[in-house]
Structure 1
C-alpha cells in the first residue's frame, strides 16, 4: 500500500482512489463484454461506462507520485538502485506472470478463443518489453509503460541532473505530438516512450514534490482548492467526449495530480481518511486489474446463453461483481502471501521500499 517517505504511515485516500480507479476499469471492460456477448447497452449508458478507461490515468499519476514520495530521500548509487529495481521488478512480475502464463497457454491452445484475431507478442507477454505487439493479457499494455517509467527513474540514482532529463522527456513527448508520431498505447513499441499518456507519470511526480514542499500545518490552505480544482477537471473530462487516444488525455492526468495532492495534504493534516474496506480494495487493485478481463469475458459468454442474465443490466452487474471479487480473491490467496514470502528473502533495504502505481495494489 502507499506509504509516506520515512515510514509515516499509509496514505489511505490514495488507496481509496486506487480502488475507485480499478472498479472503473472493470466497469468499462464489463460494458464491452456485455455488448459483445449478451446485449448491447443503450448508447448513453455505454458512453458513461466507457469513461472507466480513465482509471488507467489515475494509476499512472499515482505511480509518479509514490515513486517520488517513497524514493526521493534514497541514497544515490548502485546499492540503492539495486534495491529499488529488485522491489519494483518483484512487485510487478510476481503477481503478473502467473496470469500472463495462463493467457499464453489459453491462446496457444485455443487461438480462436478471443472471438477476434489478436496479434500478441510472446516476448512482451513474458518480459513487458515493448515490441510493437500487445501482450497476451491485453490489459498489461499499461505495465509496459510503467516499466518504461521505472527504468527512467532508475537513472536518478546515478545522474545529478535527473530533473532536466524528465523535462527533456516531456519536451520530447510534446514534440512527438506536434510531429504526429504514432505512439499506440495498447501495442507499445520503442516509440511508445513518447506516448502522451506517459506525461501523467511526470504530473504525479510534480504533485509529490508539491506535497513534500509544504508542511501539514500549511497544507489545508492549499488542499481544498487543489482537490476541488482536480475533481472539477475530472468531472469536465467525464462530461466532455474527449478522445481517450488523443493527446488531450494527458491533461486529465494533470487534473488527477491536483486531486491527489489535495487528498494527500488533507490526510497529512488529519482532515480526511478512507475507510478500511476501501483501503483493502485499493491493496487488491493490481490483482483486480490483472485477472478481471478474462473473468469478465468468460462470465459474459456464459451469461449471454441464459435468459435471466442476458439483459444488459444483469450481465453488466454480474461481470463487475465477478471481476472485482476474483481480483480480491487473487490478492488474498496469492499476491499478498507471495509478496510477504518474497519480502522475507529480499535484502532488508529492498524489502523496505514502498510500493507504487498499478503494480502496488493495482
Structure 2
C-alpha cells in the first residue's frame, strides 16, 4: 500500500525548500513562510519515518534482511548524491579557468577537495566538517542514512511491539533533547546535530504510523476529512511563517506528524488534489528537486558574478532581513526577480525530471541488481558451506 497523497506533499515540500535557498531580491523572499521553509526538511524526516516503518517493519526479521534494507536505502540516496557532487566538481573546474569574476578561488573553502571524502562517505552531517560543504542540502541525506542504520538495529534488537514503541519514543525524545539542549539555533541545526534532528523527526514519524495503525478502519467522513485537511494546511502555513529560527521551530516534527496523520487517510478535497498527476510527478521527482536545486543556484550565482564583471555594475545587493544580512541577486526590480524565481523553479523541475529518469532510477536498479546477484551467489546453507 502506498500513500500517494503523502507523495504529493513530498513534492510540495521539496519546492518550498528550493525556494527558501534562492536568495534574490523578489517579493517572496521577504515572506515569513518562505524564510521558514527550511522546516520542511523536518517534514521529510517525519514522512520518511512514517513510510519506512510502513514498508519495512515486518521485513527486518534477521541480519540478512537488515543488510538488504540498508543496501536498498543506499541505492535510493547515493547515486544521485554522487552525480550531483560530480557536477559540482565540474563547476569548480570551470571556475578555475574563469578568473576572479567567478568569486573565490576554485576548490577552496566549502569546495575543498578533502571534504569530498566525507560527502561521498555520507558522514558530513556527523560533525566531521566545520562548515557546510559542496551540495549543502545533502547534509540531511547523511543524517538520515545513519538514522536508517539506527532503525535497522532497533528492529533487529527488539521483537516485542511494546518494547519497539517504547524505544521509538525514547529515540525521538533523545533527538529532541539533544537539539533543544545543544543547538544554538533551535531546530535549525545540520552538520553539528543533524543526526539528532533527524532522529527526532524520523521516529516521530514512526510513532505517528503506529497511531495510524491503531485508528484502523475508523476513517473520517468526507466532510470531516475536508475540515481536518483545511485545518492542517492552515496550521502548516501559520506555523512555518511564525516559527522561523526561534524556539517554536522545535515543535516542527510534532506538528508535521499530526499533518501526516491527517493526510494519510486521504479523506478530503486537498488529498484529491494532491493525488492528481501533476502533484504525483512532483512527488516522484522530489528527491531530485531537493538534491539538484543547490546546483542550479550555484550556476545562477556564478553566472551572475561573471555578468557583473562584464556589465561593470553590481548585480548583487545586501539587505537586512530578519536581523541577518542577506546577499541577494538583483539585476532588476522585484517583479523581474519574481519572474526569475519562477524560471528557476521550472529549471529545477525540468532538471529533476531528467535526473530522476537517467540517474535515480538506473542507480537504484544497479544497486538492487547487485543485491539480487549477491543473494543468488550466496551458498544455500552457509553453516554447511563453512564446515
Shorter-chain TM-score: what band?
Answer: 0.7 to 0.9
1:230 aligned to 2:232?
A: yes
Instruction: Indicate if the aligned counterparts of 1:62 and 1:204 stay in contact, CA closer than 8 A.
Output: yes
Note the residue ranges of structure 1 that are not aligned, 5 or more in a row: 5-9, 351-362
1:11–1:264: 8 Å Cα contact kept in structure 2? yes
What is the 5 A alignment of 1:1-362? 4=1, 10-30=2-22, 32=23, 35=24, 40-42=25-27, 45-107=30-92, 110=95, 118-119=109-110, 121-129=115-123, 130=126, 131-133=128-130, 134-160=132-158, 161-177=163-179, 179-181=181-183, 187-189=190-192, 191-195=193-197, 198-216=199-217, 218-220=218-220, 227-240=229-242, 242-244=243-245, 246-266=246-266, 272=272, 274-299=275-300, 302=303, 305=307, 310=332, 311-347=336-372
Cα distance between partner residues in 1 of 2:37 and 2:291? 16
Bigger mean CA offset, 165-174 vs 251-260: 165-174
Report the Cα offset of residue 57 of structure 1.
2.0
Partners of 1:344 and 1:174 lie apart in 2 by 38
Larger radius of gyration: 2
1:156, CA displacement in angstroms? 2.1
Check the 8 A contact 1:141/1:185 in 2, yes or no.
Answer: no
- CA displacement 1:157-181 (0-9 Å, x = unmatched): 3211443433333333344356445
Give yes or no for contact 1:200–1:250 (8 Å, CA) kept in 2: no
Deviations 1:280-311 (A, max 9, x none): 22111111111111113323554684999743
Kindly tell me the number of residue pairs found equivalent between the two proteins: 328
Structure 1 348/74 Cα, relative in aligned 2: closer, same or farther at 3 Å?
A: farther
Corresponding residue SS for 1:336? helix
C-alpha RMSD over aligned residues: 3.4
CA distance 1:164–1:97, shift in 2 (3 Å) = same
Deviation at 1:239? 3.7
Cα deviation per residue 1:38-69 (whole Å; 9 max; x = unaligned)?
A: xx234874544323323212211111111111
Counterpart secondary structure, 1:257: helix
Distance of 2:237 and 2:13 partners within structure 1? 14
Structure 1, 255-264 or 175-184: larger mean CA deviation: 175-184
Consecutive unaligned residues of structure 2, counting only runs of 5 or more, are: 316-329, 376-387
> What is the DSSP-based 3-state SS (H/G/I as helix, E as strand, rest coil) of the residue aligned with 2:26?
coil
- Cα displacement (A) at 1:88: 0.8
1:245-264 Cα shifts (integer Å, max 9, x gaps)? x4532422222221211221
Structure 1 303/132 Cα, relative in aligned 2: closer, same or farther at 3 Å?
closer
TM-score normalised by structure 2 residue count: 0.73
Contact 1:132 1:188 in 2 (8 A): yes
| Contact persistence 2:168–2:207 (CA under 8 A) | no
> How much has 1:19 moved relative to structure 2?
0.9
| Cα offset, 1:72, TM superposition | 1.5
Shift of 1:341: 4.2
**Which residue of structure 2 lines up, in the alignment, with residue 360 of structure 1?**
none
